Amino acid sequence: MTYDSEEVVNNKFRELTAPQYVGLNLHNLFNAGYASKETVIIESAQGPYMIDVSGNQYLDIGMSAGSMIFGHAYQPVLKKITTQATKGSIFIQPTKSAYLLKEKMLENLPDEFGGVIFCNSGSEATMRAIRLARSSSGKNKIAMFSGGWHGSHDAVLVGDDYDSSENCPKPKSLSTGIPRYLLDDILMLPYNKLEAFHLIQQEAHQLALVIIEPVQGSNPRSDIAPFLRELRATCSKNGVLLAFDEIITGFRLSLGGAVNSFGIKPDIITYGKILGGGLPIGAVVFKHVISSRVFGDQSDSFFTGGTFSANPLTMEAGIEVLRNLKQSDYQYIDKLSKEMRGSCNQFFIKTKIPMQFVGCNSINRILFTDKKIGNRRARDFYESPSSVQIIFKKLMILNGVFQPSNGIIFLSFAHNTKHVARIITSIKNTALNMRHIGCFH
């Protein structure tokens, strides 16, 4: 292959993106990424491909943060949405499809689960889950793990302060505009470390909930089950509710998500992404015992409303997603992902390029280090700087493979072996070019 310098890579990328902004006013639109002149603007998508406004086609390995498990513009789901749209898209009244989707979700979970609340995003789902736990327990404090992500509302837009101890981390706001007092109700826990269980035990008297992604997007690993089992045992022993944030893992690891894949029963589960079939959705599922505590006494009200919550368009899409997933073979996308990771890792070892491909089932991530990583803090310590990772993304896009901004790589049922071979080739060529440029010095 012909190697490019970093300057040539950047110039090529500017040539690719610059025409897309002709006639557009970039000012005053502050959604993430929209103000940058190096953002690719997408016009349409079909199957495993996206097409930008200049007509360039990309093989998508982000699949809308994993939401599009069947690929873009999946016809069975689109047909359901179109049919419902002709009947009306929103009524702010109960619709039959919401009851049906609730039943289909509960079919895939153990009998202990019986409560469902629909909302409009993963962030709303975790927000309601926290409120539910506080209402059920009568306690206020929430524990979350370093490296986790639970949405963009103020209560969870918190990260690990790396200036604090790794074994007893302190919370740090990830955005301006968040009141400092909210941090007082957050217990930050070290991920994949035994010290987390000691902290839970110490704070149990004021902990309403421990929330965790069963598989972290920042550090997707297949060896996390023992840690999750011990977490379940610790929470049960100390009278603390446990929530699995399955916004990513729900309906991706399996039809029953991490709950069935790992055989561990939390008290509360949050869902989003895949369930909506491409439309915004959030859902909270919880055990009967919580339903009784929170909704059994009608003298106190628990707010569950929302203008677009359980709207018929999304409910119909969700029903069709679950119907099609029930007929799908998860081993297909899991095997493709495993082969992709294996081929790339063999190459990285052979060429002594300090990168590695990690993952769990069809959730994948490239780490820009060859060090053994146990958690997000270690990843951030050892990885190449973000400037190097940006070069990787640019080269991948120039090779026609769209690398997602959050770094999490998802395959879909629309991908096949030829697509994966192309992804592997692009990753290998990109890594070689980066070494030639001097990214790994």
Residue 126 within any structural domain of the chain: yes
pLDDT tens-digit profile of 178-219? 999 999 999 999 999 999 999 999 999 999 999 999 999 999
pLDDT value at residue 356: 98
| Single pTM value for the model | 0.96
Residue 354 within any structural domain of the chain: no
**Both tokens of residue 363?**
């959730």
pLDDT value at residue 387: 92
CB 52 within 8 A of CB 60: no
CATH no. for residue 219?
A: 3.40.640.10
pLDDT value at residue 299: 57
Three-state secondary-structure class, residue 62: coil
104: left (phi over 0), alpha (psi -120 to 50) or beta: alpha
Residue 193 within any structural domain of the chain: yes
**Both tokens of residue 404?**
């997602």
pLDDT value at residue 296: 86
User: Which residues lie below 8 Å from residue 219, measured CB to CB, with a gap of 6+?
Assistant: 147, 191, 192, 358, 365, 373, 375, 376, 379
CB 157 within 8 A of CB 175: yes
Residue 173 is part of which domain span?
A: 75-326
pLDDT value at residue 441: 75
Residue 402, Cβ neighbours under 10 Å: how many?
Answer: 24
pLDDT value at residue 298: 66
Residue 409 within any structural domain of the chain: no
Residue 439 within any structural domain of the chain: no
Residue 349 within any structural domain of the chain: no
Those residues of the chain that have pLDDT short of 50 are: none
b/e burial code for range 306-324 (CB count within 10 A of at least 16 → b): bebbbbbbbbbbbbbbbeb
CB 434 within 8 A of CB 3: no
Residue 319 within any structural domain of the chain: yes
pLDDT value at residue 23: 87
**Both tokens of residue 185?**
């109700």
Residue 348 within any structural domain of the chain: no
What is the total count of domains within the chain? Answer: 1
